[in-house]
Amino acid sequence: MESDAIENVKDKIDEILLMSTNSEDVFHSINTLEWLLKLDPEADTALRIAALGHDIERGLEDRMIQSGTFETYDEFKQAHALNCAEILVEIMEDFGVEQSLIDDVAHLVAHHESGGNEREELLKDADTLSFFHVCIPLYYDRKGPEMTKKRCVWGFKKLSDNLKKDVLEIEFPDPELKQLVIDSIVSDND
């Protein structure tokens, strides 16, 4: 039954992301789905699975794309998106998911960093908002202020204009981090 296969896929995504060395990855997955449903309460099954599994490689250290092997951050993120799409295809095939749904999810995940059509943009925006919402404090702890500033600028630029105000409304646990986010965004828009 298709619904059982989909539930098995969701469970497998959770299981894999729980193995990530970054503790926020499983929360980011769930939070991306929450943002997706906030932006589009009627989001279809493919979008929901894509939201949960868009960063699946992060729980598979041996399959994770390394940023240092690329000339630009955009090239790295594109390779990351394609790798995650490939991994999700394998998982969904293992559970016997219908091919049209597999193809749809893979296409969405392959474009979750860059966007494109309306559905791809929706996933990209949900992912980006979730990064600011749940990932940035731990990213800051790992990478420090300079890398965090660069990542804020990159994420804010790719976010749809009508959602940029949402980033400014996010409450951060550390006032210094909140100021760093605001300063990064404001200085880039000057």
Q: What is the pLDDT of residues 13-67, one digit of tens each?
A: 999 999 999 889 999 999 999 999 999 999 999 999 999 999 999 999 999 988 8
Supply the pLDDT for residue 83: 97
Domain that holds residue 104: 2-189
CATH of the domain at 132: 1.10.3210.10
pTM of the entire predicted model:
0.93
d(CA 73, CA 118): 24
106 phi and psi, to 5 degrees?
-60, -40
Name the domain count of the chain: 1
pLDDT higher than 60, residue 190: no
Amino acid at 157: K
6-29 exposure pattern, b = at least 16 Cβ within 10 A, e = fewer: bebbbebbeebbeebebebbbbbb
Supply the pLDDT for residue 58: 95
Summarised one tens digit per residue, pLDDT across range 74-95 is: 999 999 999 999 999 999 999 9
